[in-house]
Structure 1
Amino acid sequence: MEDLMKLRESIDEIDSEIVRLYKERMDISNHVAKYKITTGKKVFDKTREDEKLEKLSSLADDEFLKHGIVELFEQIMSTSRKKQYQLMTEHGIVEKENFTEVDSLDFSNARIVFQGVEGAYSQLAMKTYFGENCNGYNVDSWKDAMEDIKCGKADYAVLPIENSSAGIVSENYDLLVEYDNYIVGEQIIRIDHSLMGLPGAKISDIRTVYSHPQALMQCSDFFDEHKDINQVAVRNTAFSAKKVKDDGDITQAGIASHISADIYGLQVLESRIQNNKNNATRFIIVSAKRVCRRDADRISICFETPHKSGALYHMLAHFIYNGINMLNIQSRPISDKAWEYRFFVDFEGRFTDTAVQNALRGIREEAIALKILGTY
């Protein structure tokens, strides 16, 4: 048996040689970047890289080694591209994002649309963000709200995007892709769910509870304790309160904000019945205009990756290499591509940041599609 120390010494020598060759390769890559800067040629050449990976892997006669060679050189070429993106930015080659910067958003005479009925959490978020006396109105669906700002009927829409307990509002992620509308702000509000029924009702009288599916989910512990109560999903929490009032059935109750009980003349049977007492929902403020505050420091994007192993890692590596802090990542299936997904990422930064420019350049070149959803 060979001496372990000698084996390790041999590995160290080989590793040192690999590092020397890697540095030499990166130096040549810098010259390639300068050529591309001069000629305007794109950094990412998928055909060239695929051909090279096939040629290099063919040098091995073992499937394990073939796979390892592909993985190794994919990473080497990915790192080389990132260096080239940095050099292009340093030479002033920047693709400016087409957003108009303003010191503050213009709310004067603005019309704001929210989904639901009087007393909805979306209405509360709207009044918190725009002011108690803002000019708001309601529609039946989130899609209706996006349509209204698209056609100019409203200036802003308020949409729930994520709850701290129940997770994302998936339909609104999809609507951000479907419509050419942009996130310009956000508002987080505390969500306290109250069980409410007709005056004089008791919890023992209740046989059916109505609310939005997410609200029912957020109150699952309550239903575990009251297994005889039937849960029925409706399109909005405040609508459940309105339905209880309109139906006039003492066996019915709704789950909504306590404000809804005041609006519809109902009695709160139990307060704060949500599982998480720190429950909160993040709402986004959406506009048809590509506008942003000058001090905006959060960017939302979505992108599609090639449907192959390691594709998402290579996209996210652009944030890692550029020292960008990702705040959130979600995935949604692509409707016309079975088992393929679109990724949504929120991250810290501004369009003027060199790191952000490098990351967006890399993702734009290497992803199948990239959309800037807004900065706020």
Structure 2
Amino acid sequence: MSDQEKELKLLRDQIDSIDRQIHGLLNDRARCAQHVAEVKEKYQGSKDAVFYRPEREAQVLRRVMERNEGPLADHEVARLFREVMSVCLALEKPMHVAFLGPEGNFTQQAASKHFGHSAHCIPFNSGDEVFREVESGGAHYGVVPIENSSEGVVSHTLDLFKRFNLTICGEVELRIHHHVLRADDLGLDQITRIYLPQQTLSQCRSWLDSHFLSAERILVNSNAEAARMAIKQGAGAVAIASELVADLYQLNVVARNIDDQSDNSTRYLIIGDQEVGESGQDKTSILVTVRDKSGALYELLEHFHKHKISLTGIETRPANSENSHSAFYIDFEGHAANKHIQKVLQELQSETVELKLLGSYPVAVL
């Protein structure tokens, strides 16, 4: 045995020993999770027991990142713990998560990022169906897009909060990356047809113009459909989609990250029917309806300024009632359980036609 082989053997033996310790600790954690489930069922009852606590998971992931000393990056360590927590939660109670489909899209990717791959994610055709499935109890939670960095707010999602009595339980931010996928391994050669949705085209147009100006662009309803068409058409056909789609349909990634904006991202909301406790870094969302008058929005925002509360988002939507009313969706820092937030909400309540608290929830960790 050479000197190199001797040194490598020592290191590999050390890795094997560490792996055994990790394995044992993982099983210890899983057994502890099972005991947590037993305690909750004992005191809350099997029907009413709440197994998923968004604020608790956010705190755990933040601590993971705070104590990380490397060489693994903070987000990579948090991602590993996210999956450990997902597996352990599945031992307590398997999670059923509805998401705005179809299968293989970025919303499914966001759902897996937030809940881990041990959650059962089910696609639905519309945001209405996602909200209805959660409200009826068919799914524990739902995941819907709310805002894209390049295309703005998803207004339809906002309007659904007027119709359904659901709570925002969390948020997840996902960096959007599109790739060129094809069934063969010819790279970027001989591409004649490109399948992609309209939204994807708008986010990758400049790259496509500079690389495949003469190739035919065929619009389809989803990235998953683009993948299926690329497989069906065969030679010369490619799809523009995510890495998740590539994995689902076993396609080759022949060009990565072709987005015109490298920082393109989408924010998603986690909807459910439970109130979420304080995590230490929280956000609150409300819907307020006011009578139309000069300076109405200024008067609303003045309360936040007076109490030094930072807004993170505001969107104007038409009210459902008469034209003399306007509705505003407002996101701001802080939790509704905090006294200074309660003061603002009380002041707003007295000056608005309607105030609906949509939820207080942890700021996205991953």
> TM (normalized to structure 1)?
0.65
Please list every run of 5 or more consecutive structure 2 residues that lacks an aligned counterpart in the other structure.
1-49, 58-88, 362-366
Match 1:293 to one of 259, 271, 277: 277
Q: CA deviation at 1:196?
A: 2.1
Moved more, 177-186 or 296-305: 296-305
| CA distance in 2 between partners of 1:231 and 1:365 (Å) | 54
| CA distance in 2 between partners of 1:250 and 1:375 (Å) | 51
Taking the TM superposition and a 5 Å limit, the aligned residue runs for 1:3-82 are: none
Partner of 1:327 in structure 2? Answer: 312
Partner of 1:240 in structure 2? Answer: 226
Conserved 8 A contact 1:166-1:217:
no
Match 1:129 to one of 90, 106, 114: 114
Aligned: 1:164 with 2:161 = no
Partner of 1:148 in structure 2? Answer: 133
Instruction: Give the number of the structure whose alpha-carbon radius of gyration is greater.
Output: 1
| CA distance in 1 between partners of 2:308 and 2:168 (Å) | 24
Say if 1:239 and 1:370 are closer, same or farther in 2 by CA, change over 3 A.
farther
| CA distance in 1 between partners of 2:291 and 2:225 (Å) | 42
Moved more, 101-110 or 256-265: 101-110
> TM (normalized to structure 2)?
0.67
Moved more, 222-231 or 308-317: 222-231
Identity among equivalent pairs (%): 30
Partner of 1:317 in structure 2? Answer: 302
SS in 2 for 1:291: coil
| CA distance in 2 between partners of 1:233 and 1:307 (Å) | 41
Say if 1:363 and 1:228 are closer, same or farther in 2 by CA, change over 3 A.
farther
Aligned: 1:258 with 2:243 = yes
Say if 1:301 and 1:118 are closer, same or farther in 2 by CA, change over 3 A.
same
SS in 2 for 1:350: coil
Say if 1:365 and 1:280 are closer, same or farther in 2 by CA, change over 3 A.
same
Q: CA deviation at 1:267?
A: 3.1
Conserved 8 A contact 1:161-1:172:
yes
Kindly tell me the number of residue pairs found equivalent between the two proteins: 274
Q: Deviations over 1:43-79 (max 9, x none)?
A: xxxxxxxxxxxxxxxxxxxxxxxxxxxxxxxxxxxxx
Partner of 1:220 in structure 2? Answer: 205
Moved more, 147-156 or 257-266: 257-266
Please list every run of 5 or more consecutive structure 1 residues that lacks an aligned counterpart in the other structure.
1-99
Q: Deviations over 1:105-131 (max 9, x none)?
A: 787322111122432222221122112
SS in 2 for 1:275: coil
Root-mean-square deviation (Å): 2.8
Q: CA deviation at 1:277?
A: 1.1
SS in 2 for 1:305: strand
Say if 1:182 and 1:126 are closer, same or farther in 2 by CA, change over 3 A.
same
Partner of 1:346 in structure 2? Answer: 331
| CA distance in 1 between partners of 2:128 and 2:192 (Å) | 33
Q: CA deviation at 1:321?
A: 0.9
